[in-house]
Structure formats: C-alpha cells, structure tokens
C-alpha cells in the first residue's frame, strides 16, 4: 500500500528547525523523548514500527506510519547538526576553549600561529603602504620602501606556486657544514677544555682563586668580576703564588710577600671590571720587575714560553692556608666556586655547591671525582694494603670458573691441545707458542 501523503513532508519536517544550542530546548527535547520515543526515532526506524491497521481503514486514504508520525503535532526539537559549520571561531580557538573549559581561555590571542606568513605579510603591507607616503624622506624607510615595493610588486603579481622550481631557497638546507663559520659560530668557553687532574695544580687553582677573591673583597669590588681575566701574566701569577693565605676573614686573608707586590696586585685588581688586563700588565711590568725578588724558585721552574702549560709550569702551592677558608657567605662562595671552576675546568654540581663549607672540602670533592672510590669490592680489596701484605690471601677480580681451576692444576693446556688436534678449536688461536 503506497503511502498517499506527500513524500516531501519527511524531508522538510527535518530541516524546519534550525540548530539551536539552547539549554531549554534540550530539556524540552528530553521531555518529549521520554514521553514518546517514536518522535525521537529516525524516520528510517519508524518503518520498523509495525502498526496494526484495521481492515476497515483500508478503504480510506492510506497513510504510512512514517507520514502519520510526521503529521502528528510535534514540538520544535532543537538540533545541533552542523555545530562546527560556521567559521566564526577557528578550530584552534574552539579546541583551546574546550581544553580550558571557558570561553576566554588565558594565553596568546592566537598561540597556534593562526595566520600564515603570507597573511601577515599582507597585513603588514597594508599599514606599511599607508605609512610609506608620509615617511618618504627617511633613509631607513627608503630601504623598506624598496623592499616593500618589491614585495608589493611580487604581491600584485603573486601566484601561488605548485612546485618548488625557481623559488628562493632559504637556509642551509641540511648542508650546514659546507657553509663557512660565521661570527656567531665562534665559541669561547668559560671553562677550560680539559679538566685539571694533578693534585698540585688543583691546589694552585684553589690558591689562586682564594687570593683573587680575597683581594676583591679587600678592594670592595664586585666579586665575580675576577672571572673576567681568564689568565694572568706570568709575573702576576708568580706574585699570586707567593702570597700566603691566613685563615680567617676573607678581607684580611691575603698575606703579601712584599709591599711592592701588594701595591702591584692592588693596582692590577683595581683595574679589573674596567679595562682589559693586558694593557695594565704592560704598565705595571716595570714595577713588577723591580719588585719581584729573584729567588731560587725561578731557576727551578723552567722558563716555558709555551702558553699551553697550565699554571706556567708550577707544580704545587707553597702554603696550604687556603684549605681552611670558610665559604659561608653565599656571594663569596659563588665567586670562589666560579673562579675555581674556571681555572680548573671542573664542574661542581648543585648539591655539592650547597653542601660545601670550606675551600678544603671543594678540593676534596674534586679529588674524589678524579679518583673515584672503587665500586667493586675486588678493586677495593686489591687496593687495600692490609690484604695485599698477607701472603695467604688471594683476591680474584673475576668469578672463578672450572676452567680457572683447570689452569691452576695444569690441565687446561692438555685439554686445549687435545681439542686443537681434534679440530674443535681454531688452530690459529695461539695460546701457547710451542
């Protein structure tokens, strides 16, 4: 029985209600849904709903169940069909709103970039074009004008490209190593390339750092500026080396070898923070030559002009007073550690920086880094003097296997010879050169 109602009502019935995100409508729909679920059913499903129609009704106009449902007065149901159809808010903005849960999520107005480079260019072009006319005479603006004109020209003749032929290539395109090094590529590290490993040289570094920092203290200069001077001149270093440290306050810690030395050092360190050290060194070189007492130490130290020798060839400090200097003041600690790490090349991790209290502890820490305590018991026992002196103790580093027992008893060579003769071991594997 064909349905005699107009078929178009099906379709129009669906589209009559515009999509509405109203909360009230949702409730209404829910009510309607609860009351009569056939209205909420899709049209296709309604065909499954077999209604028993009476035989008497067949003579009258036949309306199928679908059309009958359509005809029934129905409330307006708000539907959210193409919710995201409009372009009012971009998808990125909608995602952000959903993530944050509010309509005004915090952050950049458009954190995802939003417009492309070209779009931005267009926007720039438009205000730039407007500014061009009043600023014609400015030199800088001429350049921009030229650029802008070029851009303008290209913008007017702009056609989006489909391939990359003929387009300008930007950047190194993967072959960065072919380009020559630019200024930005040059890197002068703060720390030394190599770590100082000898105990004497470490002490030298610590002593030098201590003297310099205490000098800065006494001159009331900003402490970290000491690091500006990477390497002193030899004569200056010698004076620093001769200085003694007396434990106590940082300000009065340095005991100078002589008055001239004191004056020279004070003068040198006054300069730090202003001009570079080399100019100062030339000026004070004459004073230094008079002041420095030619002692036997010079004869002992070889005159090495090679700048690669660390600490000018000095092997160890003269006095060890620097070990007991305390690092309780954070500024002093920072300055000392900075200078020390610059001179010695050792990195000091944060927990160590926090926990260290005296200079001696710093040196101790660096020593422990250089000579780590053995982790394996076998290495520890091998180093321990007590066990090595005992003649009846034997410590093995590796697990003793049955083959080791065989070797001890002398069987191994017989076994290997036999295996070799049977061809089970490579003949070339020479253990014993018989």
Contacting residues toward other proteins, per CB under 8 A: 375-378, 380-381, 384, 386-387, 390-400, 406-414, 431-434
Q: DSSP label at 374?
A: P
The CB-of-412 to other proteins minimum distance in angstroms stands at: 8
Give the span between the Cα atoms of 254 and 237, in whole angstroms: 14
Cβ–Cβ under 8 Å, residues 40 and 28: no
CA atoms of 255 and 246, how far apart (whole Å): 7
Give 95 or 387: the residue with its C-beta nearer to other proteins.
387
Least separation in angstroms between residue 428's CB and other proteins is: 15
Q: Considering beta carbons, is residue 386 or 423 the nearer one to other proteins?
A: 386
Shorter beta-carbon distance to other proteins: residue 17 or 406: 406
Task: Assess contact for 201 and 351: CB atoms under 8 A.
Answer: no
Q: How far is the CB of 410 from other proteins (least distance, A)?
A: 4
If the CB atoms of residues 296 and 434 are measured against other proteins, the closer one turns out to be 434
Which of 243, 245, 269, 270 lies closest to 256, judged by CA?
Answer: 243
Nearer to other proteins, 169 or 430 (CB): 430
CA-wise closest residue to 245 among 271, 219, 206, 296: 206
Smallest separation (angstroms) from other proteins to the CB of 388: 10
Q: How far is CA 201 from the centre of its chain?
A: 32
Q: Give the CA distances from residue 237 to residues 122, 253, 261, 262, 265, in Å, rounded to whole numbers and listed in that order.
A: 62, 18, 11, 13, 10
Q: Which is nearer to other proteins, 354 or 398 (CB)?
A: 398
Look at the alpha carbons of 189, 190, 191, 192 in this order and tell me if their dihedral is positive or negative: positive
Q: Are 109 and 89 in contact (CB under 8 A)?
A: no
Q: Closest distance between other proteins and the C-beta of residue 409, in Å?
A: 4
Nearest approach, Cβ of 384 to other proteins (angstroms)? 8
Structure tokens at 31: 């009510």
Nearer to other proteins, 228 or 418 (CB): 418
Q: What are phi and psi of 415, to 5 degrees?
A: -60, -45
Q: What is the distance between the alpha carbons of residues 198 and 154, in angstroms, rounded to a whole number?
A: 66
Least spacing, CB of residue 416 vs other proteins, in Å: 10
> Given the complex with other proteins, which of 285 and 393 has the nearer CB atom?
393
Which among 421, 227, 427, 420 is positioned nearest to 336, based on CA atoms?
227
Q: How far is the CB of 387 from other proteins (least distance, A)?
A: 6
Closest CA to 357 of 322, 327, 334, 325: 327
The DSSP output letter for 272 is: T
CB of 385 to other proteins, least distance (A): 9
Pick between residue 354 and residue 428 the one whose CB is nearest to other proteins. 428
């Amino acid at each position: 029985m064909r349905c005699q109602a107009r078929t178009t009502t099906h379709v129009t019935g669906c589209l009559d209600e515009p999509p509405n995100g109203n909360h009230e409508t949702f409730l209404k729909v829910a009510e309607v849904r609860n009351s009569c679920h056939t209205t909420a059913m899709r049209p296709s499903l309604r065909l499954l709903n077999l209604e028993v129609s009476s035989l008497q009704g067949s003579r009258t106009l036949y309306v199928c169940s679908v059309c009958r449902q359509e005809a029934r007065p129905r409330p307006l149901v708000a539907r959210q069909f193409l919710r995201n159809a409009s372009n009012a808010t971009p998808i990125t903005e909608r995602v952000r709103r959903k993530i944050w849960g509010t309509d005004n999520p915090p952050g950049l107005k458009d954190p995802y970039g939003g417009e492309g480079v070209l779009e931005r260019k267009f926007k720039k072009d438009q205000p730039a074009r407007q500014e061009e006319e009043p600023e014609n005479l400015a030199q800088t603006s001429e350049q921009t004008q030229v650029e802008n004109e070029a851009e303008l020209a290209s913008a007017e003749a702009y056609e989006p490209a489909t391939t990359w032929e003929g387009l300008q290539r930007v950047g190194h395109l993967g072959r960065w190593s072919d380009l020559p090094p630019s200024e930005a590529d040059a890197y002068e590290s703060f720390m030394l390339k190599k770590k100082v490993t000898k105990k004497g040289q470490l002490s030298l570094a610590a002593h030098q750092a201590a003297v310099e920092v205490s000098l800065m203290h006494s001159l009331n200069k900003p402490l970290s500026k000491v690091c500006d001077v990477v390497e002193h001149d030899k004569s200056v270093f010698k004076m620093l080396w001769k200085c003694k440290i007396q434990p106590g306050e940082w300000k009065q810690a340095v005991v100078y070898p002589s008055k001239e030395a004191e004056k020279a050092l004070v003068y040198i360190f006054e300069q730090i923070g202003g001009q570079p050290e080399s100019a100062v060194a030339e000026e004070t070189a004459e004073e230094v030559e008079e002041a420095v007492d030619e002692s036997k130490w010079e004869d002992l130290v070889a005159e090495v002009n090679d700048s690669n020798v660390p600490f000018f060839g000095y092997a160890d400090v003269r006095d060890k007073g620097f070990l007991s200097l305390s690092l309780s003041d954070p500024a002093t600690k920072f300055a000392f550690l900075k200078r020390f790490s610059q001179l010695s090349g050792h990195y000091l991790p944060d927990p160590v920086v926090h926990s260290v209290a005296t200079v001696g502890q710093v040196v101790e820490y660096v020593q422990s880094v250089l000579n780590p305590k053995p982790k394996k018991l076998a290495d520890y026992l091998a180093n321990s003097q007590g066990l090595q002196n005992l003649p009846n103790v034997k410590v093995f580093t590796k697990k003793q296997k049955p083959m080791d027992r065989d070797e001890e008893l002398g069987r191994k060579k017989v076994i290997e010879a036999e295996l070799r003769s049977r061809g089970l071991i490579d003949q070339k594997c020479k253990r014993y050169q018989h």
